[in-house]
Protein backbone atom coordinates (compact mmCIF):
# COMPACT_ATOMS: atom_id res chain seq x y z
CA UNK A 1 0.00 0.00 0.00
CA UNK A 2 1.64 3.22 -1.19
CA UNK A 3 3.06 5.49 1.56
CA UNK A 4 1.08 3.79 4.30
CA UNK A 5 3.64 4.85 6.90
CA UNK A 6 3.25 8.50 5.89
CA UNK A 7 -0.55 8.29 6.08
CA UNK A 8 -0.27 6.62 9.47
CA UNK A 9 2.02 9.34 10.85
CA UNK A 10 -0.39 12.01 9.64
CA UNK A 11 -3.34 10.35 11.39
CA UNK A 12 -1.32 9.78 14.58
CA UNK A 13 -0.80 13.54 14.91
CA UNK A 14 -4.57 13.98 15.21
CA UNK A 15 -5.15 11.40 17.98
CA UNK A 16 -5.73 13.02 21.36
CA UNK A 17 -3.59 10.66 23.48
CA UNK A 18 -0.56 10.96 21.18
CA UNK A 19 1.80 13.93 21.54
CA UNK A 20 2.92 15.55 18.26
CA UNK A 21 6.57 14.71 18.96
CA UNK A 22 5.94 10.94 19.15
CA UNK A 23 8.67 8.50 18.16
CA UNK A 24 8.21 5.43 15.92
CA UNK A 25 10.74 2.59 16.02
CA UNK A 26 10.42 -0.15 13.37
CA UNK A 27 10.19 -3.70 14.73
CA UNK A 28 10.65 -7.03 12.99
CA UNK A 29 8.20 -7.03 10.10
CA UNK A 30 6.08 -9.90 8.84
CA UNK A 31 5.92 -11.05 5.23
CA UNK A 32 3.82 -8.00 4.34
CA UNK A 33 2.66 -6.09 7.41
CA UNK A 34 5.01 -3.78 9.30
CA UNK A 35 5.06 -3.10 13.03
CA UNK A 36 6.40 -0.29 15.21
CA UNK A 37 6.99 0.72 18.79
CA UNK A 38 5.24 4.04 19.41
CA UNK A 39 6.61 6.19 22.24
CA UNK A 40 4.70 9.27 23.32
CA UNK A 41 4.38 11.20 26.59
CA UNK A 42 6.25 8.51 28.53
CA UNK A 43 3.97 5.71 27.26
CA UNK A 44 4.70 2.87 24.82
CA UNK A 45 2.31 1.31 22.32
CA UNK A 46 2.47 -1.31 19.58
CA UNK A 47 1.40 -0.38 16.04
CA UNK A 48 0.82 -2.73 13.14
CA UNK A 49 0.12 -1.62 9.57
CA UNK A 50 -2.02 -3.70 7.25
CA UNK A 51 -0.28 -3.96 3.88
CA UNK A 52 -1.57 -7.55 3.63
CA UNK A 53 -5.13 -6.30 3.09
CA UNK A 54 -4.36 -5.95 -0.60
CA UNK A 55 -4.21 -9.76 -0.70
CA UNK A 56 -6.26 -10.96 2.28
CA UNK A 57 -10.00 -10.38 2.64
CA UNK A 58 -10.25 -9.21 6.25
CA UNK A 59 -12.80 -7.10 8.12
CA UNK A 60 -10.57 -5.07 10.43
CA UNK A 61 -13.47 -3.65 12.44
CA UNK A 62 -14.76 -7.14 13.21
CA UNK A 63 -11.25 -8.29 14.14
CA UNK A 64 -10.80 -5.24 16.40
CA UNK A 65 -14.04 -6.11 18.22
CA UNK A 66 -12.96 -9.76 18.57
CA UNK A 67 -9.69 -8.63 20.12
CA UNK A 68 -11.68 -6.58 22.65
CA UNK A 69 -13.44 -9.80 23.67
CA UNK A 70 -10.09 -11.60 23.92
CA UNK A 71 -8.66 -8.83 26.08
CA UNK A 72 -11.60 -9.23 28.47
CA UNK A 73 -10.65 -12.91 28.76
CA UNK A 74 -7.00 -11.99 29.49
CA UNK A 75 -5.80 -13.67 26.31
CA UNK A 76 -4.78 -10.61 24.29
CA UNK A 77 -3.20 -7.22 24.78
CA UNK A 78 -5.69 -4.36 24.78
CA UNK A 79 -6.67 -3.01 21.36
CA UNK A 80 -6.70 0.78 21.66
CA UNK A 81 -7.27 2.38 18.28
CA UNK A 82 -8.20 1.30 14.74
CA UNK A 83 -7.37 3.81 12.03
CA UNK A 84 -10.14 5.62 10.19
CA UNK A 85 -9.43 3.72 6.96
CA UNK A 86 -8.55 0.45 8.75
CA UNK A 87 -4.92 0.74 7.64
CA UNK A 88 -3.27 0.32 11.04
CA UNK A 89 -4.03 -0.56 14.66
CA UNK A 90 -2.63 0.57 18.01
CA UNK A 91 -2.40 -1.93 20.87
CA UNK A 92 -1.06 -1.71 24.41
CA UNK A 93 2.63 -2.56 24.68
CA UNK A 94 3.65 -5.99 26.01
CA UNK A 95 6.95 -6.29 27.86
CA UNK A 96 6.83 -10.08 28.01
CA UNK A 97 9.11 -12.38 26.04
CA UNK A 98 7.61 -14.67 23.42
CA UNK A 99 8.34 -18.32 22.78
CA UNK A 100 10.30 -17.31 19.66
CA UNK A 101 13.15 -15.98 21.83
CA UNK A 102 12.66 -18.29 24.78
CA UNK A 103 15.54 -20.28 26.28
CA UNK A 104 13.10 -22.93 27.50
CA UNK A 105 13.71 -26.54 26.41
CA UNK A 106 11.87 -27.52 23.24
CA UNK A 107 9.61 -29.86 25.21
CA UNK A 108 8.39 -26.95 27.35
CA UNK A 109 7.93 -24.71 24.31
CA UNK A 110 5.75 -27.38 22.67
CA UNK A 111 3.81 -27.75 25.92
CA UNK A 112 3.23 -23.96 25.99
CA UNK A 113 2.01 -24.02 22.37
CA UNK A 114 -0.42 -26.82 23.21
CA UNK A 115 -1.67 -24.91 26.27
CA UNK A 116 -2.19 -21.79 24.18
CA UNK A 117 -4.18 -23.72 21.56
CA UNK A 118 -6.33 -25.34 24.24
CA UNK A 119 -7.04 -22.00 25.88
CA UNK A 120 -7.98 -20.46 22.53
CA UNK A 121 -10.21 -23.38 21.55
CA UNK A 122 -12.08 -23.32 24.85
CA UNK A 123 -12.75 -19.59 24.98
CA UNK A 124 -16.34 -18.43 24.28
CA UNK A 125 -15.78 -15.82 21.57
CA UNK A 126 -18.31 -14.52 19.06
CA UNK A 127 -16.64 -14.51 15.65
CA UNK A 128 -17.44 -15.24 11.98
CA UNK A 129 -16.92 -18.73 10.60
CA UNK A 130 -13.86 -19.28 8.44
CA UNK A 131 -14.89 -19.77 4.81
CA UNK A 132 -11.62 -21.21 3.56
CA UNK A 133 -12.87 -22.17 0.07
CA UNK A 134 -13.95 -18.54 -0.42
CA UNK A 135 -10.40 -17.45 0.43
CA UNK A 136 -8.99 -19.96 -2.05
CA UNK A 137 -11.23 -18.64 -4.81
CA UNK A 138 -10.11 -15.09 -3.97
CA UNK A 139 -6.44 -16.02 -4.25
CA UNK A 140 -7.10 -17.91 -7.50
CA UNK A 141 -8.90 -14.87 -8.90
CA UNK A 142 -5.87 -12.71 -8.05
CA UNK A 143 -3.55 -15.23 -9.68
CA UNK A 144 -5.56 -15.54 -12.89
CA UNK A 145 -3.56 -17.48 -15.49
CA UNK A 146 -0.72 -17.92 -13.00
CA UNK A 147 -2.52 -20.70 -11.13
CA UNK A 148 -1.32 -24.23 -11.91
CA UNK A 149 -3.59 -26.97 -13.23
CA UNK A 150 -2.50 -29.10 -10.26
CA UNK A 151 -3.85 -26.51 -7.80
CA UNK A 152 -7.07 -26.10 -9.77
CA UNK A 153 -7.60 -29.87 -9.76
CA UNK A 154 -7.01 -29.95 -5.98
CA UNK A 155 -9.67 -27.34 -5.29
CA UNK A 156 -12.72 -29.62 -5.32
CA UNK A 157 -11.21 -32.33 -3.11
CA UNK A 158 -9.85 -29.79 -0.62
CA UNK A 159 -13.22 -28.02 -0.50
CA UNK A 160 -14.99 -31.30 0.22
CA UNK A 161 -12.46 -32.18 2.94
CA UNK A 162 -12.88 -28.75 4.53
CA UNK A 163 -16.66 -28.86 4.80
CA UNK A 164 -16.61 -32.46 6.03
CA UNK A 165 -14.20 -31.59 8.83
CA UNK A 166 -16.11 -28.43 9.81
CA UNK A 167 -19.34 -30.43 10.03
CA UNK A 168 -17.81 -32.50 12.86
CA UNK A 169 -16.50 -29.83 15.20
CA UNK A 170 -15.77 -26.09 15.15
CA UNK A 171 -14.31 -23.81 17.82
CA UNK A 172 -12.71 -20.40 18.01
CA UNK A 173 -9.25 -20.66 16.40
CA UNK A 174 -6.18 -18.48 15.90
CA UNK A 175 -5.08 -20.08 12.58
CA UNK A 176 -1.62 -18.46 12.61
CA UNK A 177 -0.07 -19.45 15.94
CA UNK A 178 3.66 -18.81 15.47
CA UNK A 179 6.09 -18.94 18.39
CA UNK A 180 6.36 -15.16 18.09
CA UNK A 181 2.64 -14.90 18.86
CA UNK A 182 2.72 -16.58 22.30
CA UNK A 183 4.26 -15.20 25.49
CA UNK A 184 6.26 -17.31 27.93
CA UNK A 185 4.64 -15.93 31.07
CA UNK A 186 1.43 -17.03 32.76
CA UNK A 187 -1.28 -16.19 32.02
CA UNK A 188 -0.41 -16.62 28.36
CA UNK A 189 -0.92 -13.66 26.05
CA UNK A 190 -1.41 -14.29 22.34
CA UNK A 191 -0.76 -11.76 19.56
CA UNK A 192 -1.67 -11.26 15.90
CA UNK A 193 -5.32 -12.29 15.62
CA UNK A 194 -5.93 -11.27 12.02
CA UNK A 195 -6.78 -14.80 10.82
CA UNK A 196 -8.85 -15.84 13.84
CA UNK A 197 -12.29 -17.31 13.19
CA UNK A 198 -14.67 -20.09 14.11
CA UNK A 199 -13.02 -23.07 12.47
CA UNK A 200 -11.92 -26.67 12.92
CA UNK A 201 -9.31 -27.04 15.69
CA UNK A 202 -7.34 -29.51 13.59
CA UNK A 203 -6.70 -26.94 10.86
CA UNK A 204 -5.45 -24.63 13.64
CA UNK A 205 -3.09 -27.35 14.89
CA UNK A 206 -1.88 -28.09 11.36
CA UNK A 207 -1.32 -24.37 10.74
CA UNK A 208 0.68 -24.11 13.96
CA UNK A 209 2.84 -27.06 12.90
CA UNK A 210 3.48 -25.57 9.46
CA UNK A 211 4.22 -21.99 10.50
CA UNK A 212 6.69 -23.14 13.17
CA UNK A 213 8.31 -25.76 10.89
CA UNK A 214 8.01 -28.37 13.64
CA UNK A 215 9.89 -31.64 13.28
CA UNK A 216 7.93 -34.88 13.10
CA UNK A 217 8.76 -35.55 16.75
CA UNK A 218 7.74 -32.04 17.89
CA UNK A 219 4.56 -32.26 15.81
CA UNK A 220 3.62 -35.54 17.46
CA UNK A 221 4.36 -34.17 20.93
CA UNK A 222 2.20 -31.10 20.24
CA UNK A 223 -0.73 -33.30 19.23
CA UNK A 224 -0.25 -35.60 22.23
CA UNK A 225 -0.11 -32.65 24.67
CA UNK A 226 -3.17 -31.08 23.06
CA UNK A 227 -5.12 -34.37 23.16
CA UNK A 228 -4.29 -34.91 26.83
CA UNK A 229 -5.28 -31.36 27.81
CA UNK A 230 -8.54 -31.61 25.84
CA UNK A 231 -9.25 -35.17 26.98
CA UNK A 232 -9.33 -36.40 23.38
CA UNK A 233 -8.12 -39.61 21.80
CA UNK A 234 -4.50 -39.10 20.70
CA UNK A 235 -4.77 -41.23 17.56
CA UNK A 236 -7.85 -39.30 16.42
CA UNK A 237 -6.14 -35.95 16.93
CA UNK A 238 -3.07 -37.13 14.99
CA UNK A 239 -5.25 -38.48 12.17
CA UNK A 240 -7.40 -35.37 11.83
CA UNK A 241 -4.39 -33.05 11.92
CA UNK A 242 -2.80 -35.12 9.14
CA UNK A 243 -5.98 -34.72 7.09
CA UNK A 244 -5.80 -30.92 7.43
CA UNK A 245 -2.11 -30.56 6.54
CA UNK A 246 -2.69 -30.62 2.73
CA UNK A 247 -5.30 -27.85 3.15
CA UNK A 248 -2.83 -25.73 5.14
CA UNK A 249 -0.16 -26.28 2.49
CA UNK A 250 -2.64 -25.39 -0.27
CA UNK A 251 -3.75 -22.22 1.54
CA UNK A 252 -0.19 -21.07 2.23
CA UNK A 253 0.94 -21.75 -1.33
CA UNK A 254 -1.93 -19.77 -2.87
CA UNK A 255 -1.38 -16.92 -0.39
CA UNK A 256 2.35 -16.64 -1.10
CA UNK A 257 1.78 -16.81 -4.87
CA UNK A 258 -0.83 -14.04 -4.61
CA UNK A 259 1.52 -11.93 -2.47
CA UNK A 260 4.37 -12.41 -4.93
CA UNK A 261 2.17 -11.39 -7.84
CA UNK A 262 0.61 -8.32 -6.24
CA UNK A 263 3.63 -6.76 -4.46
pLDDT single digits (tens) 95-111:
889 999 999 999 999 99
Report the pLDDT value the prediction gives residue 262, as an integer from 0 to 100: 75
Residue 2: band (very low, low, confident or very high) from pLDDT cuts 50, 70, 90: low
* Distance of alpha carbon 243 from alpha carbon 160, whole angstroms: 12
E strand or H helix at 224, and its extent? helix 216-230
Report the pLDDT value the prediction gives residue 150, as an integer from 0 to 100: 86
Residue 240: band (very low, low, confident or very high) from pLDDT cuts 50, 70, 90: very high
Report the pLDDT value the prediction gives residue 73, as an integer from 0 to 100: 96
pLDDT at residue 1 greater than cutoff 80: no
pLDDT at residue 67 greater than cutoff 70: yes
* Distance of alpha carbon 58 from alpha carbon 62, whole angstroms: 9
Domain limits, the chain: 4-92, 99-262
Q: The domain 99-262 is classified under which CATH number: 3.30.450.40, 3.30.2130.10, 3.40.1190.20, 3.90.1200.10?
A: 3.90.1200.10
* Averaged pLDDT, 232-250: 98
Report the pLDDT value the prediction gives residue 40, as an integer from 0 to 100: 94
pLDDT digits over 24-58, tens only?
999 875 666 789 999 999 999 999 998 767 788 88
Sheet strand arrangement including 43-49: 23-26, 35-40, 43-49, 88-92, 79-82
Q: Among residues 249, 242, 243, 205, which one has the least CA distance to residue 225?
A: 205
Q: Is the dihedral of CA 105, 189, 60, 33 positive or negative?
A: negative
Percent of the chain at pLDDT above 70? 96
Topology of 4-92 in CATH? Phosphorylase Kinase; domain 1 (3.30.200)
* Distance of alpha carbon 80 from alpha carbon 206, whole angstroms: 31
pLDDT at residue 116 greater than cutoff 70: yes
* Averaged pLDDT, 170-184: 96
In 3-state terms, what secondary structure has residue 89? strand
Report the pLDDT value the prediction gives residue 250, as an integer from 0 to 100: 96
Q: Provide DSSP, 48-87.
A: EE-GGGGTS---HHHHHHHHHHHHHTTSSPPEEEE-TTSS
Length of the chain: 263
* Distance of alpha carbon 130 from alpha carbon 248, whole angstroms: 13
Report the first-to-last Cα separation within the chain, whole angstroms: 9
Residue 127: band (very low, low, confident or very high) from pLDDT cuts 50, 70, 90: very high
Amino acid sequence: MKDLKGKMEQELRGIDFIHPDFNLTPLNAGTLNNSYKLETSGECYFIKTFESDEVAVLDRRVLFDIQKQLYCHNLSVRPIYLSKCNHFQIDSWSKFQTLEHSTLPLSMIISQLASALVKIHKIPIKAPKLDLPKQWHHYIELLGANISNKDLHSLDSHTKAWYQECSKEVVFCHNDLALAHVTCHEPINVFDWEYCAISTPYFDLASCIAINCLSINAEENLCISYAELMDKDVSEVLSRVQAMKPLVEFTNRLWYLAVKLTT
